[in-house]
Chains A and B, each alone.
Chain A
């Protein structure tokens, strides 16, 4: 076991970025190889963390704590660690980023900056998923913002400037709300601890908020306000209706690799944060607002699906599908049961693979046909059978076909929703049935899209398209294979998640 493995993991991509900085920008292949080696090393390290993670111990593992900033009354620590929630997210980040790196080898312009940004982004992602200090969490959270802004703004499509600014404004607001809530949580926590603690540490704050020395500080109103502020900040990221409108255009305009990372991992920070800090520090408030969260979850599911049904742009269609599928995460959290929370976490991982694959396929088809408009496509199975086959497989995964991972998250979440305690989530069955309606709608819009793009008579203008290149098999087989792996044998993932879910539930119960 490597000591301080988490720090190695977090700063490895940054080191790779610095190395690339030193290489002349003409050496594109050297830069690409270096980026590939860095992300592959990150994949190996994150899998090492996965393997070494002790599935029988609750609480944080591989912890590291270094006092960092001490302003007397404000102490910020470099405190990191992982539990069963963060370990899968680390693997997801490294794998999706690695496959995105392979998927972006066809980028020719400003290659050096591109990979520097991607690697910085990965450091930010890792940081978010290991940070146990709110301030540190915020720093990494913001660190992911800047590279993605540049990636969309420089390598994006026609409306890249507009899309990147919209992204920046939304996530900027999200960040601003987040830091303000963190500071408030910090000071109120200090007060609630009877002025004995002054900490940004999430585990310590969870303890303080659960058993305050000065309970009178933590009125129901204060707790509720803090939780809702956090919720909005993360809701923008997930995104939750009505904060979602930055997302379709950002996805549509970003280059394929960036969309894969953005949808596959970056927005998972929202769901992760909601569980880590929302449930972690305010379990009582999650219970209090369970119905609201469930309503928003169901709105996401149905609204996203119905809008996906009328999109003509394939990328926007997948973007709305993504909104719809993130509703599952909210619903799982709102159910307040082991199965539901398991389902929510499972969905974060599963959706990461599936949506990245969908965006990759859309990108691969669009690159060849020069259009993403469904109305201009059709009959692609004839000229590009392999790409069409993988597209269909990705669609089936998104539809929730058993054997692929999406089904397991839907199953677990629905078990949770239908088994939700009536005092926390009244009318749970209604939410469950509406989620079921969403499952039907998902099949409707995705099959409609397939029917119009790969099925149908072949169009003459597409008869000479080249099928998948060897390098494209890496992301396709990789992402589909992972979805298949955790779909056929979900225990490989739930095994890691379960101890933390039990831990969360015991805190909810206590």
Chain B
């Protein structure tokens, strides 16, 4: 079975090609093509996963490009880490494909939507199967393309068009870093195959400084893709895409690719303590500031987007402090509960006819039972309520940070965990409890939407059990044969603290947004400046506009003037005079004469030059 793993991304590729060519005729039947392809991918990845557990790593490569005496190969491999990813990506992808059938059925470009979705699934699965960094980069860019296409799916909305461009451009900054990083790695080690790279580094193929530079550049790619500070600004805007897209690409899978990248290249990061420190701090800062913005935002999707950024920061923080398993474990659990929350939000938005402001929501608990219950499960899972998935993964992260990162990073992580529980329950209470606001009475959505919610809710409950302090199965699986250092484990008091933080966040949200015992402007009235700062997302978009975008355009306008007046000026004068003399001649003869004249002049000059040179030698 392992040797058939390459088929997993091929199914959605075939679906993409079919939909690209014949989607127009299939119309809304297109969804079945996509769902069928992803069902096959899911079954295959399940089979591959089962065979790989207790099995061996399998790889296959062919030569792709030869330069000088070095070759770059292409192929696929099945490792412990990537079978886990394959399963997560295929599962979430399949569920989102199913969900979208109902969510998008009124859109007359549904076939285009499904073709893009299939392109994304192909690219993401291909990324995961890649046996070398360049192939990963190739698919990395293709998921970026699919993200661009899907964010901009409603291209006629100016916000969507702008968001798509911004997403592509901001991640592109990170991607160029990654590209340069992999080129330096290639030049240092002579290969881009993961295993060959790691053994070359162990053999001392690169200096410490070089390794730090390479690791930081690779991390830059992860910062862009996984929306880490300071390149996180594209992700909230990407919420302009259809909500199933936000669930699949901008929560569960693509944005986690940066975390996966750091995981895959972990030996390179471990070789540089500076790089590890940078990863940890970028992760911590991201987790913290994104959580603070989520506290005050009022758009259901944007709150979830900032939550995603914050959780991705958590994963980076874990990886940067030596928690290899912790970071990747959280990647997996987060994929399920965040996809659940986003699809739940999609269900709400769909029922409310595309309203997204939580201030205009409320009272959905009795009106949309399945959505409400599954959303509550997702909320509990992300808040870290035991024994749901998020509890287990968050606890090992806290353990790793405390052991490998020290007290400051630990405090940041703890405060962030508290804020997470708070903003998620704030969201939950405002949407599902209280009075319903609006005219049209919402009803629960059809099965195509509720079944994926239930399936994801099951994952959000059970996914954590693969790695508990009682049976650390995932840890053994992921670290077997890998040198990723000693992994930290949770203690009972850490588990207690973790529960306390979640309960505290819940309690405060409950008091403010359910019971009303604490006024909703209790904090904002005391620190209006901070509130404004958070509402404006730390003014980062404005700062980037002023610091980069506008100066570049100004430079362009200035250089365009220089180009026209100075560089072109001299020639302009010459050309105009020729043209004028040409017009004089044209009055007497036909227009072609001037051409011949000019060519003759140039030819004549050449002959004169020839004679001159000849004289020099033979005179």
**Residues of chain A at the chain B interface (Cβ within 8 Å):** 73, 145-146, 149-150, 153, 161-162, 165-166, 168-170, 172-173, 175-176, 179-180, 183-184, 187, 191, 242, 245-246, 303, 306-307, 309-311, 337-339, 342, 379, 381-382, 396, 401-403, 407-408, 411-412, 414-415, 418-419, 432-433, 436-437, 439-441, 443-444, 447-448, 450-451, 454-458, 489-491, 494, 498
Contact = CB atoms under 8 A, between A and B. Distances in A.
B605 interface: yes
Given A175-B602, A176-B605, A436-B180, A443 B578 contact: no
Contact of A245 (B172, B187, B567, B618): B567
B514 to A, nearest CB: 42
What 6 pairs between A and B have smallest CB-CB spacing? A338-B68, A310-B556, A455-B161, A402-B138, A245-B568, A339-B67
Contacts of B180: 414, 418, 432-433, 436
Nearest to A343: B67
B156 A183 contact: no
Contacts of B68: 337-339
B575 A162 contact: yes
Contacts, number: 174
Interface centre among A172, A173, A337, A494 (most CB of B within 10 A): A172
Interface string B545-586: 000000011011101100100011001001110110010000
B169 A342 contact: no
B50 interface: no
A340 to B, nearest CB: 9
Nearest to A447: B165
5 contacts: A165-B582, A303-B559, A408-B65, A418-B180, A439-B176
Interface of A is mostly: helix
B411 interface: no
A175 B599 CA distance: 10
Contacts of A436: 176-177, 179-180
A384 to B, nearest CB: 13
Given A161-B579, A418-B187, A490-B64, A456 B563 contact: no
A306 B551 CA distance: 11
B169 A443 contact: yes
Contact of A169 (B555, B571, B610): B571
A491 B63 contact: yes
Contacts of A450: 165
Contacts of B168: 443, 447
Interface residues of B, number: 64
Contacts of A419: 187
B391 to A, nearest CB: 39
A153 B609 CA distance: 29
Interface centre among A306, A342, A489 (most CB of B within 10 A): A306
Interface of B: 63-68, 134, 137-139, 141-142, 145, 152, 155-158, 161-162, 164-165, 168-169, 172-173, 176-177, 179-180, 183-184, 186-187, 552-553, 555-557, 559-560, 563, 567-568, 571, 574-576, 578-579, 582, 591, 595, 598-599, 602, 605-606, 609-610, 613, 616-618
Given A381-B155, A433-B180, A494-B65, 8 more contacts: A169-B571, A169-B578, A307-B559, A307-B560, A396-B145, A432-B183, A436-B177, A443-B169
A187 B579 contact: no
A312 to B, nearest CB: 10
Nearest to B598: A168
B553 A310 contact: yes
A242 B560 contact: no
Contact of B184 (A303, A418, A443, A455): A418
B161 A183 contact: no
Contacts of B183: 411, 414-415, 418, 432
A309 B571 contact: no
A401 B141 contact: yes
Contacts of B145: 396, 401
Given A162-B579, A454-B155, A443 B172 contact: yes
Nearest to B616: A187
A176 B139 CA distance: 48
Nearest to A441: B552
Contact of B172 (A145, A411, A439, A448): A439
A310 B579 contact: no
B613 A415 contact: no
A433 B407 CA distance: 37
A447 B599 contact: no
Interface centre among B155, B180, B568, B598 (most CB of A within 10 A): B155
Nearest to B563: A307
B46 to A, nearest CB: 28
B610 A451 contact: no
Contacts of A396: 145
A309 B556 contact: yes
A306 B559 contact: yes
B595 A168 contact: yes
Nearest to B186: A415
Nearest to A448: B165
Contacts of B605: 176
Contact of A306 (B552, B571, B578): B552
Contacts of A403: 138, 141-142
B15 to A, nearest CB: 17
Given A245-B568, A402-B138, A415-B186, A165 B609 contact: no
Contacts of B177: 436
Contacts of A494: 65-67
Contacts of A306: 552, 555-556, 559
Contacts of A165: 575, 578-579, 582, 598
B156 A456 contact: yes
Contacts of A310: 553, 556-557, 560
Given A180-B609, A306-B556, A418-B183, A166 B158 contact: no
B597 to A, nearest CB: 11
Contacts of B609: 176, 179-180, 183
Contacts of A303: 559
A406 B397 CA distance: 41
B554 to A, nearest CB: 9
Contacts of A153: 591, 595
A440 B152 contact: no
A374 to B, nearest CB: 14
Contact of B575 (A169, A401, A402, A411): A169
A456 B161 contact: yes
B182 to A, nearest CB: 9
A379 B187 CA distance: 45
A392 to B, nearest CB: 8
A407 B172 CA distance: 13
A407 B145 CA distance: 14
Nearest to B605: A176
Contact of B156 (A311, A382, A415): A382
Contacts of B560: 307, 310-311
A411 B618 CA distance: 51
A440 B63 contact: no
A457 B578 contact: no
Nearest to A443: B172
Contact of B173 (A184, A342, A414, A440): A440
A416 B49 CA distance: 40
Contacts of A311: 560
Contacts of A444: 169, 552
Contacts of B155: 379, 381, 454-456
Contacts of A447: 165, 168-169
Contacts of B555: 306
Given A172-B599, A306-B559, A339-B67, A246 B571 contact: yes
A403 B138 CA distance: 7
Given A245-B567, A310-B557, A456-B155, A440 B65 contact: no
B141 A176 contact: no
A176 B602 contact: yes
Contacts of A457: 156-158
Contacts of B66: 491, 494, 498
B161 A166 contact: no
